[in-house]
Amino acid sequence: MQVLADCKPERLFHYFEEISAIPRRSGDEKAVSDYVVRSARDHGLWAYQDTAYNVLIRKPAFTGYEQSEPVLLQAHLDMVCEKNNDSAHDFSAGSFLLKCSVRSSVYTKKRFLSAVISRLALISDGTVSFNGDYPGWEFVRESPLRALLCEVFKELYGKPPEIAAIHGGLECGLLTEKVQGMDAVAIGPDICNAHTPRESVSIASVKRTWEFILASLKRMR
């Protein structure tokens, strides 16, 4: 029996629960990637899976939208695995492990921070390594897509949305770096204690986000 069977939108939470049953820690995304590809093809959609298990799905435009600009919706396949178990590290050995999440919307500032960390490791007779590098995604003052989404948001909720800098837009930097001129925004439901064992999401805000995306897509003719 589905735990989220009564949550709205029903189909969204149906797939969320199916995906939640698939182990998908970062670096081990094959199973969930295969699931997404299989689901897309079962619905008659074109799907491509690369060697890193990223998935690209294409869906034809609805009637009347054939001449509209294409829209790309992007999301994670993996899950950040965190737990509250006590660390087994032995500090009496005279060494320590430091993990840093180096993030910035301005790429040069992120590189500067990485250089500072490297310098600290050097003067402490330590070593440092970096992986999962992301490009920057700086604020764009003129964004037609953001302007459109703000209009739709105000129409739905009677107030303008809050525009803020968040770390959730990392992939936007990757995509806009590869596709020159791409306009991008990052949106999502209300999440508390992200990337911790106490992470939770507001089910009501998931519904609002779903309705907001549908309303925005309808305006993109």
Q: What is the pLDDT of residue 123?
A: 67
Residue 192 lies in a domain: yes
To the nearest whole number, what is the mean pLDDT of the chain?
Answer: 83
Question: Domain check: are 38 and 13 in the same one?
Answer: yes
Q: If DSSP codes are grouped into helix, strand and coil, which group holds residue 170?
A: helix
Question: Domain check: are 183 and 154 in the same one?
Answer: yes
Q: Is it the case that residue 93 has pLDDT exceeding 60?
A: no
Question: Domain check: are 176 and 208 in the same one?
Answer: yes
Question: Domain check: are 155 and 111 in the same one?
Answer: no
Residue 90 lies in a domain: no
Residue 63 lies in a domain: yes
d(CA 187, CA 208): 11
Question: Domain check: are 154 and 200 in the same one?
Answer: yes
Q: What contacts 24, CB < 8 A, 6 or more positions away?
A: 31, 32, 77, 78, 79
Question: Domain check: are 145 and 185 in the same one?
Answer: yes
Question: Domain check: are 148 and 125 in the same one?
Answer: no
Cβ-in-10-Å burial (0-12, 13-18, 19+) of 36 comes to buried
Beta carbons of 32 and 22 less than 8 angstroms apart: yes
Question: Domain check: are 139 and 204 in the same one?
Answer: yes
Q: What contacts 55, CB < 8 A, 6 or more positions away?
A: 33, 36, 37, 40, 47, 48, 49, 77
Question: Domain check: are 141 and 219 in the same one?
Answer: yes
Question: Domain check: are 2 and 75 in the same one?
Answer: yes
Among 42-46, 114-118, 186-190, the range of highest mean pLDDT? 42-46
Q: Give the total number of structural domains in the chain.
A: 3
Q: What is the pLDDT of residue 173?
A: 83
* 95, containing H or E segment: none
Question: Domain check: are 116 and 69 in the same one?
Answer: no
Could you tell me the residue range of the domain that residue 145 belongs to? 134-221
- The pLDDT confidence band at residue 99, using thresholds 50, 70 and 90, is low
* 48, containing H or E segment: strand 46-49
pLDDT digits (tens, 9 = 90+) for 116-160: 777 767 766 677 777 777 777 888 889 999 999 999 999 999 999
d(CA 44, CA 38): 10
Q: What contacts 180, CB < 8 A, 6 or more positions away?
A: none
Question: Domain check: are 156 and 199 in the same one?
Answer: yes
Q: What is the pLDDT of residue 96?
A: 47
Q: What contacts 36, CB < 8 A, 6 or more positions away?
A: 47, 55, 57, 77
d(CA 183, CA 105): 15
- Identify residue 64 by its one-letter amino acid code: G
Q: What percent of the chain shows pLDDT beyond 90? A: 41
d(CA 138, CA 158): 28
Residue 189 lies in a domain: yes
